[in-house]
Amino acid sequence: MNIILQTDRLLFRQFTLEDAHLIFELNSDPEVVKYVHEAPTTRENAPTVIRDIILPQYELGLGRWAVINSSGNEFIGWCGLKKLTNGDIDLGFRYKRDHWGKGYATEAALAVVKYAFEVQGLDRIIGRAHIDNTASQNVLEKCGMQFMGDTEEDGQLVRNYALVSTFKG
Ligand SMILES: CC(C)(COP(=O)(O)OP(=O)(O)OC[C@H]1O[C@@H](n2cnc3c(N)ncnc32)[C@H](O)[C@@H]1OP(=O)(O)O)[C@@H](O)C(=O)NCCC(=O)NCCS
Protein backbone atom coordinates (compact mmCIF):
# COMPACT_ATOMS: atom_id res chain seq x y z
CA MET A 1 0.00 0.00 0.00
CA ASN A 2 1.45 3.36 -1.06
CA ILE A 3 0.84 5.60 1.98
CA ILE A 4 1.20 9.33 1.32
CA LEU A 5 0.22 11.00 4.59
CA GLN A 6 -1.15 10.37 8.05
CA THR A 7 -3.02 12.60 10.50
CA ASP A 8 -4.39 11.88 13.98
CA ARG A 9 -7.44 10.09 12.61
CA LEU A 10 -6.74 9.54 8.92
CA LEU A 11 -4.42 7.75 6.55
CA PHE A 12 -3.99 8.70 2.89
CA ARG A 13 -3.01 6.14 0.29
CA GLN A 14 -2.91 6.03 -3.49
CA PHE A 15 -5.88 4.51 -5.27
CA THR A 16 -5.21 1.47 -7.47
CA LEU A 17 -7.24 -0.17 -10.21
CA GLU A 18 -8.54 -2.57 -7.52
CA ASP A 19 -10.45 0.32 -5.89
CA ALA A 20 -13.19 0.76 -8.49
CA HIS A 21 -15.81 -0.45 -5.98
CA LEU A 22 -14.79 2.35 -3.57
CA ILE A 23 -15.16 5.02 -6.26
CA PHE A 24 -18.53 3.53 -7.16
CA GLU A 25 -19.68 3.57 -3.50
CA LEU A 26 -18.68 7.22 -3.20
CA ASN A 27 -19.74 8.67 -6.55
CA SER A 28 -22.99 6.77 -6.97
CA ASP A 29 -24.60 8.86 -4.20
CA PRO A 30 -26.41 11.77 -5.95
CA GLU A 31 -25.95 13.94 -2.82
CA VAL A 32 -22.17 13.49 -2.98
CA VAL A 33 -21.94 14.60 -6.63
CA LYS A 34 -24.68 17.24 -6.34
CA TYR A 35 -22.29 20.21 -6.63
CA VAL A 36 -19.41 18.77 -8.65
CA HIS A 37 -20.73 18.96 -12.24
CA GLU A 38 -20.71 15.17 -12.57
CA ALA A 39 -23.34 12.52 -13.12
CA PRO A 40 -23.25 9.75 -10.49
CA THR A 41 -20.62 7.12 -11.39
CA THR A 42 -21.91 3.73 -12.51
CA ARG A 43 -20.33 0.39 -11.63
CA GLU A 44 -19.22 0.13 -15.28
CA ASN A 45 -17.41 3.48 -15.51
CA ALA A 46 -15.78 3.46 -12.03
CA PRO A 47 -12.58 1.74 -13.35
CA THR A 48 -12.33 4.44 -16.05
CA VAL A 49 -12.46 7.18 -13.39
CA ILE A 50 -9.47 5.59 -11.65
CA ARG A 51 -7.48 4.84 -14.80
CA ASP A 52 -8.10 8.06 -16.74
CA ILE A 53 -8.62 10.71 -14.06
CA ILE A 54 -6.98 9.62 -10.81
CA LEU A 55 -3.87 7.57 -11.70
CA PRO A 56 -2.29 10.03 -14.22
CA GLN A 57 -1.96 12.70 -11.48
CA TYR A 58 0.21 10.36 -9.37
CA GLU A 59 2.91 10.60 -12.05
CA LEU A 60 3.13 14.34 -11.21
CA GLY A 61 3.55 13.68 -7.47
CA LEU A 62 0.00 14.96 -7.02
CA GLY A 63 -3.35 13.21 -6.90
CA ARG A 64 -6.64 12.52 -5.26
CA TRP A 65 -5.74 10.07 -2.47
CA ALA A 66 -8.00 7.56 -0.78
CA VAL A 67 -8.68 8.65 2.81
CA ILE A 68 -9.01 5.86 5.36
CA ASN A 69 -10.31 6.29 8.90
CA SER A 70 -7.40 4.82 10.88
CA SER A 71 -9.49 3.55 13.80
CA GLY A 72 -12.02 1.65 11.68
CA ASN A 73 -9.70 0.99 8.71
CA GLU A 74 -12.60 2.17 6.54
CA PHE A 75 -12.52 4.09 3.24
CA ILE A 76 -14.34 7.39 3.84
CA GLY A 77 -13.57 9.41 0.70
CA TRP A 78 -10.72 11.21 -1.01
CA CYS A 79 -8.71 14.39 -0.71
CA GLY A 80 -5.78 15.73 -2.67
CA LEU A 81 -4.19 17.86 -5.33
CA LYS A 82 -4.94 17.93 -9.05
CA LYS A 83 -3.17 19.81 -11.82
CA LEU A 84 -5.81 21.53 -13.93
CA THR A 85 -5.47 22.15 -17.66
CA ASN A 86 -4.55 25.82 -16.98
CA GLY A 87 -1.67 24.72 -14.71
CA ASP A 88 -3.33 25.61 -11.40
CA ILE A 89 -3.07 23.03 -8.62
CA ASP A 90 -6.50 22.38 -7.15
CA LEU A 91 -7.21 21.22 -3.59
CA GLY A 92 -10.23 18.93 -3.71
CA PHE A 93 -12.12 16.53 -1.44
CA ARG A 94 -15.12 14.27 -1.44
CA TYR A 95 -16.48 12.08 1.37
CA LYS A 96 -19.22 9.51 1.83
CA ARG A 97 -22.29 11.10 3.36
CA ASP A 98 -22.14 9.20 6.64
CA HIS A 99 -18.71 10.76 7.27
CA TRP A 100 -19.75 14.40 6.93
CA GLY A 101 -19.89 16.63 10.01
CA LYS A 102 -17.03 14.88 11.85
CA GLY A 103 -14.26 17.30 10.93
CA TYR A 104 -12.55 14.75 8.65
CA ALA A 105 -12.66 16.98 5.57
CA THR A 106 -10.89 19.83 7.33
CA GLU A 107 -8.36 17.57 9.06
CA ALA A 108 -7.46 16.01 5.70
CA ALA A 109 -7.41 19.27 3.74
CA LEU A 110 -5.09 20.94 6.25
CA ALA A 111 -2.67 18.01 5.96
CA VAL A 112 -2.75 18.24 2.16
CA VAL A 113 -2.08 21.99 2.25
CA LYS A 114 1.01 21.36 4.40
CA TYR A 115 2.10 18.58 2.03
CA ALA A 116 1.59 20.83 -1.00
CA PHE A 117 3.85 23.57 0.35
CA GLU A 118 6.37 21.70 2.47
CA VAL A 119 6.83 18.47 0.53
CA GLN A 120 5.88 19.35 -3.03
CA GLY A 121 7.26 22.89 -2.75
CA LEU A 122 4.28 24.44 -4.52
CA ASP A 123 3.93 28.22 -4.46
CA ARG A 124 0.17 28.44 -4.71
CA ILE A 125 -2.86 26.19 -4.61
CA ILE A 126 -6.44 26.96 -5.47
CA GLY A 127 -9.86 25.70 -4.43
CA ARG A 128 -13.23 25.93 -6.12
CA ALA A 129 -16.75 25.26 -4.92
CA HIS A 130 -20.24 25.66 -6.35
CA ILE A 131 -21.85 28.81 -4.96
CA ASP A 132 -24.40 26.76 -2.99
CA ASN A 133 -21.81 24.33 -1.61
CA THR A 134 -21.25 26.13 1.66
CA ALA A 135 -19.84 23.03 3.38
CA SER A 136 -17.02 22.93 0.83
CA GLN A 137 -16.44 26.70 1.06
CA ASN A 138 -16.15 26.32 4.86
CA VAL A 139 -13.45 23.68 4.48
CA LEU A 140 -11.47 25.86 2.03
CA GLU A 141 -11.78 28.87 4.36
CA LYS A 142 -10.71 26.80 7.39
CA CYS A 143 -7.55 25.97 5.39
CA GLY A 144 -6.81 29.69 5.15
CA MET A 145 -7.83 30.06 1.52
CA GLN A 146 -8.72 33.57 0.33
CA PHE A 147 -11.86 34.22 -1.69
CA MET A 148 -10.84 35.42 -5.18
CA GLY A 149 -14.25 35.99 -6.77
CA ASP A 150 -16.97 34.07 -8.56
CA THR A 151 -16.86 32.75 -12.11
CA GLU A 152 -19.38 31.01 -14.30
CA GLU A 153 -18.65 27.46 -15.48
CA ASP A 154 -21.12 25.47 -17.56
CA GLY A 155 -23.87 27.89 -16.51
CA GLN A 156 -23.08 27.44 -12.79
CA LEU A 157 -21.60 30.03 -10.42
CA VAL A 158 -18.37 28.83 -8.82
CA ARG A 159 -16.54 30.43 -5.87
CA ASN A 160 -12.78 30.61 -6.41
CA TYR A 161 -10.20 30.53 -3.62
CA ALA A 162 -6.41 30.62 -3.51
CA LEU A 163 -3.67 30.14 -0.94
CA VAL A 164 -0.07 31.24 -1.43
CA SER A 165 2.77 29.44 0.32
CA THR A 166 4.49 31.16 3.22
CA PHE A 167 6.81 28.17 3.64
CA LYS A 168 10.39 29.34 3.45
CA GLY A 169 11.95 25.86 3.51
C1 LIG B 1 -17.71 19.30 1.21
C2 LIG B 1 -17.55 18.26 2.30
C3 LIG B 1 -16.21 17.57 2.12
C4 LIG B 1 -17.59 18.96 3.65
O5 LIG B 1 -17.51 17.98 4.68
P6 LIG B 1 -17.80 18.33 6.21
O7 LIG B 1 -17.84 17.07 6.94
O8 LIG B 1 -18.97 19.25 6.27
O9 LIG B 1 -16.52 19.20 6.62
P10 LIG B 1 -15.66 19.28 7.97
O11 LIG B 1 -14.63 18.24 8.05
O12 LIG B 1 -15.15 20.67 8.00
O13 LIG B 1 -16.66 19.04 9.15
C14 LIG B 1 -17.64 20.00 9.43
C15 LIG B 1 -18.14 19.95 10.84
O16 LIG B 1 -17.78 18.77 11.55
C17 LIG B 1 -18.01 19.07 12.95
N18 LIG B 1 -17.08 18.27 13.74
C19 LIG B 1 -17.43 17.16 14.44
N20 LIG B 1 -16.34 16.62 15.02
C21 LIG B 1 -15.28 17.40 14.70
C22 LIG B 1 -13.90 17.35 15.02
N23 LIG B 1 -13.38 16.36 15.75
N24 LIG B 1 -13.08 18.30 14.50
C25 LIG B 1 -13.58 19.31 13.75
N26 LIG B 1 -14.91 19.41 13.42
C27 LIG B 1 -15.76 18.46 13.90
C28 LIG B 1 -17.85 20.56 13.11
O29 LIG B 1 -19.04 21.09 13.64
C30 LIG B 1 -17.61 21.07 11.69
O31 LIG B 1 -18.40 22.22 11.36
P32 LIG B 1 -17.92 23.73 11.70
O33 LIG B 1 -16.54 23.90 11.13
O34 LIG B 1 -18.92 24.57 11.00
O35 LIG B 1 -17.94 23.83 13.17
C36 LIG B 1 -18.68 17.21 2.23
O37 LIG B 1 -19.89 17.87 2.37
C38 LIG B 1 -18.67 16.41 0.92
O39 LIG B 1 -17.91 15.46 0.76
N40 LIG B 1 -19.55 16.80 -0.01
C41 LIG B 1 -19.68 16.11 -1.29
C42 LIG B 1 -18.51 16.36 -2.25
C43 LIG B 1 -18.21 17.82 -2.44
O44 LIG B 1 -19.11 18.64 -2.59
N45 LIG B 1 -16.91 18.12 -2.45
C46 LIG B 1 -16.43 19.47 -2.65
C47 LIG B 1 -16.49 19.85 -4.07
S48 LIG B 1 -16.00 21.55 -4.31
The pLDDT, as a whole number, for residue 169 is 58
- Which of 39 and 51 is assigned the larger pLDDT? 51
- Pocket flag, ligand 1, residue 158 (CB < 6 Å): no
- Specify whether the backbone of 37 is left (phi greater than 0), alpha (psi in -120 to 50) or beta: left
Q: Is the pLDDT of residue 114 over 90?
A: yes
* Residue 168's pLDDT band (cuts 50, 70, 90): low
The pLDDT, as a whole number, for residue 1 is 78
The pLDDT, as a whole number, for residue 71 is 92
Nearest-atom number in ligand 1 for the CA of 105 is: 11
The pLDDT, as a whole number, for residue 37 is 84
- Asked if residues 13 and 79 have their Cβ atoms less than 8 Å apart, the reply is no
- All domains in the chain, ordered by first residue: 3-123 (3.40.630.30)
Q: How far apart are the first and last CA of the chain?
A: 29
- Asked if residues 79 and 92 have their Cβ atoms less than 8 Å apart, the reply is yes
Distance, CA 134 to ligand 1 centroid (Å)?
10
Burial class (CB in 10 A: 0-12, 13-18, 19+), 169: exposed
The pLDDT, as a whole number, for residue 7 is 98
- Pocket flag, ligand 1, residue 109 (CB < 6 Å): no
Average pLDDT, the chain: 96
Q: Rounded to whole angstroms, what are the CA distances from 106 to 55, 86, 109, 153?
A: 24, 26, 5, 25
Query: pTM for the full model?
Result: 0.96
- Pocket flag, ligand 1, residue 103 (CB < 6 Å): yes
> What integer is the mean pLDDT of 134-149?
98
